[in-house]
Each structure stands twice: as structure tokens, then as C-alpha cells.
Amino acid sequence: MTIQVARDSGVLTLTIDRPKGRNSLDDAMVETMITELEAAQNDESVRVILITSTGDDFCTGFDIVGRNENIAGLEAGDPEAGGPEAGGKPRVGAIQRRLPSQSNRLVPLILNTQVPVVCAVRGWAIGLGLHIAVAADFCIAADDARLWEPFMKRGFTPDSGGTWLLPRLVGITRAKEMLLLGRRISGAEAAEWGLIHLAVPADSVDATVTALVDDLSSGPTVALGLAKWLVHTGSGLGLEQHLHNEAFAMELSSRADDFKEGIAALRDKRDPEFRGR
């Protein structure tokens, strides 16, 4: 397995661990991330999700070279690559059929999972790797990290939500610079643009991420999740529907034990001790 999974003190950590492949993702790795994110939605112990990596780079996108080598094996009739005995060369439309069950599930899960998601980025964040990072609620990047949309340099169009995420985060003009012109930006520029939450010196990334994760994991998990839901759904709704959703979220969050603790802490003039319930 090249996605390391760990759970500790309410934190689910997914570590991309394929440094020899510059942390590019393959089908199995994407599926592991999807499975863990789906499970986290129903795991009452998970209060924050951290996506991080080993090695020099965060994630250099999907392993297109590896997939093309597999397709070459299909065309050559290599049984180990799933040659004619396994159906031969993929049919036209294979990408269109495959994406809805792979990367096109991963990014929406990061956006919609009702616990905060934090991402730690060093080195390159490319394509799908970049989209994972900016879909997170909080992305902390090294100021010398490099963020890149490589699609036009490869002759095909962006996927995994890139053309949806970037215009909403940095505006159409800057999104076109990255998506159409292939402009590479640093972590510092990404923070300045509002593409990510914060850029810090590379040797400060771990400490900054740890402090943020600790803060979120000790927060009012129900209220945090509902506030995240409101933010992500609000841009597509009219004011009246959004106000209805706010009332619904307040009704739910005010029934949580953490709300009672928050009121008690206010009354007692102390810091609250939220339990995520």
C-alpha cells in the first residue's frame, strides 16, 4: 500500500507514500483515499483529516506514464497487464467511464466530508495533487512549494475539478493563467492569491500543521462540519434557501453536547472542552 493510514486522538492521517514515483497516484492509491474518506464520514471518532506525504514532493498528480505502460501491455497482449484474455485494449470512452468512480469521487469527498480536512504541501503539487490540496479546508504549504496545472503541456484538458475549484478560489483571470497557460506558482504566491490557506518556511510546515490540526481536533466537530457544509453549498443558492440551511444547521448544532459545553464555558468564564459530540 502506498497510502499510509493512521488514526490517533481523533485525527485520521492519510500519507501519500510513494517517493520513488514522486508521490504520483495510481488507481489503488486513489481508491484507498476514497475508501478512507467515505469511512470517516461515519466514524464518530474522526474529528479532523490530515493529508500529507513523505519525500520531497506532495503529489505530482496521477501516474499517467504507469497507466500508459499498462495500456501498452494490453495492446501487446501481455496477460499480466490484462491482455486479450482480459478484454484487450480499452474501449473508446474508457476515461469518461473511469473518472466518475476515481478522481471525480475523491475531490467531492474532500469538499463534502463534514469534518475539517487539512493538507500539508512541500515540493510539487501537480494536477490531481494540486486539486486535493486546494479542495482541503486548510492547505499549509512551504513557501517554496511549486503548484502547477500541467494539462496543456500534455495536450489534454484538466480533470478532477480543477476548472471548478480554481476560478472559485482565485478568480477567472488567474485560473486561466494556471489552467490555460500552465503558469507555475510558488506556495507563497498561492497564499497571496488565496488559493491556499497559508505559506510558511519549509522547516515550519510540520509545526504549523500540527498546531492547526490540534486546534481543529479539539473543536466543536458537529458545528465545524455544518459550517463547512454551509460554506460549500451557499455559493450555489439564493439567500432565502441559504438562510433556511443556516437555521437548519443551527437547530442541529444547538442540540449537540458541545453547544452545551460552550454555553457552560461562557457562563463559567473558562475555555470550553469540546468532545466532538
Domain-wise residue ranges, the chain: 3-66+96-217, 221-268
Contacts of 32 (CB under 8 A, 6+ apart): 1, 3, 5, 14
Q: What is the total residue count of the chain?
A: 277
pLDDT of residue 40: 94
Beta carbons within 10 angstroms of residue 11's beta carbon:
20
Q: Quick one: what percent of the chain has pLDDT higher than 70?
A: 86
pLDDT of residue 76: 43
pTM: 0.88
pLDDT of residue 159: 86
pLDDT digits (tens, 9 = 90+) for 130-150: 999 999 999 999 999 999 999
Distance CA 161, CA 131 (A): 7
pLDDT digits (tens, 9 = 90+) for 169-192: 999 999 999 999 999 999 999 999
Q: Which fold has domain 3-66+96-217?
A: 2-enoyl-CoA Hydratase; Chain A, domain 1 (3.90.226)
Burial annotation 199-224 (CB, 10 A radius, 16+ → b, else e): bbeeeebeebbeebbeebbbbbbbbb
Residue 96 has pLDDT above 80, yes or no: no
In angstroms, how far is CA 60 from the centroid of its own chain? 14
Q: Where are the alpha helices (DSSP H) in the chain?
A: 27-40, 64-76, 94-98, 103-112, 128-135, 151-154, 162-170, 172-179, 187-193, 205-217, 221-234, 239-253, 257-268
Residue 79 has pLDDT above 60, yes or no: no
Q: How confident is the model at residue 89 (pLDDT cuts 50, 70, 90)?
A: low
pLDDT of residue 72: 43
Crossing angle (nearest 10°) for helices 103-112 and 27-40? 30
